[in-house]
Structure 1
Amino acid sequence: MCRVFAGQDPEGYRQINRSIRIDGHSTSIQLEATFWGLLDEIAESQGLTTPKFISKLYDEAIEINGQIPNFASMLRTTCALYLRGHRPSVEEQAAMKREAA
């Protein structure tokens, strides 16, 4: 079983930096390629660009929690929740698409 994990393509865990504008500031976020691929997929499912999705996620998390001690970790756990099937309802998706327009 470990061969499945150990034998994965190193490209999937290559570190990639992306510059995202959050709250009016340009911010560099470093994640593994696999996580960027998942975030791209999540954003597309919401009808948003990846930068817009990440910015909205940041704003909502600040509103709910007041602070985010490690935003890169939050993005990784967002991907894990997505893979586990935690997805927005149809109504939430429609609201996000309306806000994006």
Structure 2
Amino acid sequence: MSVDPPPGGFAGPVKRSITIAGHETSITLEPLFWQALEEASRLRGLPLSALVAEIDALRIDAKNPPNLASALRAWALADARRVVSQDENYSQ
């Protein structure tokens, strides 16, 4: 069994400015996470800023809220796992 690098290889974090809840903030994520969030927003018919705002609202309501970048990474991974699980259930 071998391990492969992610598509596009390994890349360091990229900082982007985004407006959520009426204020601009900077978020630093690896390109793979930005791509996952962009795809999730596209599939939901939302602007990226709207998806980030929804995730931010969920994060704020959490018992011990993480920082926004951590919440976005966790959400993106969980969303990808949901998609894989749905695909597996659909193909059975």
TM, length-normalised to structure 2: 0.73
Correspondence for 1:96? none
**Percent identity (aligned):** 30
CA RMSD of aligned residues (A): 2.5
User: Any idea what SS the aligned residue of 2:45 has?
Assistant: coil
- Which of 29, 32, 37 in structure 1 is aligned with 2:35? 37
Structure 1 unaligned spans of 5+ = 88-101
Runs of 4+ that moved beyond 6 A: none
- Which of 60, 82, 85 in structure 1 is aligned with 2:82? 85
**What are the within-5 Å matches in structure 2 for residues 4-43 of structure 1?**
4-5=4-5, 9-10=9-10, 13-43=11-41
What is the CA-CA distance between 1:5 and the residue it aligns to?
3.0
Q: Distance in 2 between matches of 1:78 and 1:65?
A: 13
Higher helix share: 1
- For these two proteins, the number of residue pairs brought into alignment is 83
- 2:48 maps to 1:50: yes
TM, length-normalised to structure 1: 0.68
Amino acid at match of 1:85: R
Structure 2 unaligned spans of 5+ = 85-92
